[in-house]
Structure 1
Amino acid sequence: MKRTDTVGTILWFTGWSMPRTVFGSLQVLLPDYKHVSFEYGEVESDEELLALAEAQARSIREAAMEGAALYNGTYRPLLIGGWSLGGLLALHLAVNGLADGLILMGATARFIREREESERGWPDVYVRQMILMLGKDRQAVEESFRHRLLTAEGSKKELVVKLSPIGSWSTAALIAGLQLLRSTEYLSRLPGIHCPVLLIHGTKDTICPYGAAEEMAALLPHVELLTIAECGHMPFHGREESMAAEIRRWWHGCKSKLDQPSI
Structure 2
Amino acid sequence: MGHYINTENNIQIYAEDIGEGQPVIFLHGWPLNHGMFEYQMNELPKHGFRFIGIDLRGYGKSNRPFNGYDYDTMADDLHEVIQKLDLKDAVLAGFSMGGPIALRYMSRYKSERISKLLLLSPAAPIFTKRDDYPFGMEKEEVDTLIDQLKTDRPHAIATFGEKFFEKKPSKEFQQWFLSMAVSSSSYGTIHSAIALRDEDLRNELSGIAAPTKILHGKKDQICPYDFSLQLADQLPNAKLVPFEESGHGVFHDEPEKYNKQILEFLQSSSLE
* TM-score band, normalised by shorter chain: 0.7 to 0.9
Count residues in correspondence: 243
Alignment partner, residue 11 of structure 1? 25
Alignment partner, residue 188 of structure 2? 173
2:67 paired with 1:45: yes
Greater relative contact order structure (CA < 8 Å, 6+ sep): 1
Question: RMSD of aligned C-alpha atoms?
Answer: 2.6
Alignment partner, residue 135 of structure 1? 150
What is the SS of the residue equivalent to 1:45?
coil
1:5 CA displacement:
7.9
2:174 paired with 1:160: yes
1:248 CA displacement:
2.0
1:33 CA displacement:
2.2
Contact 1:19-1:168 within 8 A present in 2 as well = no
Alignment partner, residue 217 of structure 2? 202
* Between 203-212 and 160-169, the greater mean CA deviation after superposition: 160-169
1:242 CA displacement:
2.9
Alignment partner, residue 103 of structure 2? 91
Distance 1:142 1:80, change over 3 A: same
In the aligned structure 2, how far is the partner of 1:180 from the partner of 1:103? Answer: 21
1:183 CA displacement:
2.0
2:128 paired with 1:112: yes
In the aligned structure 1, how far is the partner of 2:37 from the partner of 2:222? Answer: 19
In the aligned structure 2, how far is the partner of 1:148 from the partner of 1:244? Answer: 22
What is the SS of the residue equivalent to 2:24?
strand
Contact 2:29-2:98 within 8 A present in 1 as well = yes
1:251 CA displacement:
2.8
In the aligned structure 1, how far is the partner of 2:271 from the partner of 2:120? Answer: 23
**Deviations 1:199-222, CA, capped at 9 Å, x for gaps:** 000000011000111111011111
Alignment partner, residue 217 of structure 1? 232
- With normalisation by structure 1, the TM-score equals 0.82
In the aligned structure 1, how far is the partner of 2:242 from the partner of 2:155? Answer: 31
Q: Whose strand proportion is higher, 1 or 2?
A: 2
Alignment partner, residue 89 of structure 2? 77
**Equivalent residues in 2 for 1:15-26 (5 A)?**
15-26=29-40
Segments of 5+ residues of structure 1 without an aligned counterpart are 66-75, 258-263
Distance 1:37 1:4, change over 3 A: closer
Distance 1:255 1:60, change over 3 A: farther
The higher radius of gyration belongs to 1
In the aligned structure 1, how far is the partner of 2:37 from the partner of 2:19? Answer: 21
2:249 paired with 1:249: no
* Between 134-143 and 162-171, the greater mean CA deviation after superposition: 162-171
2:231 paired with 1:231: no
1:238 CA displacement:
4.7
2:27 paired with 1:28: no
Q: Whose helix proportion is higher, 1 or 2?
A: 1
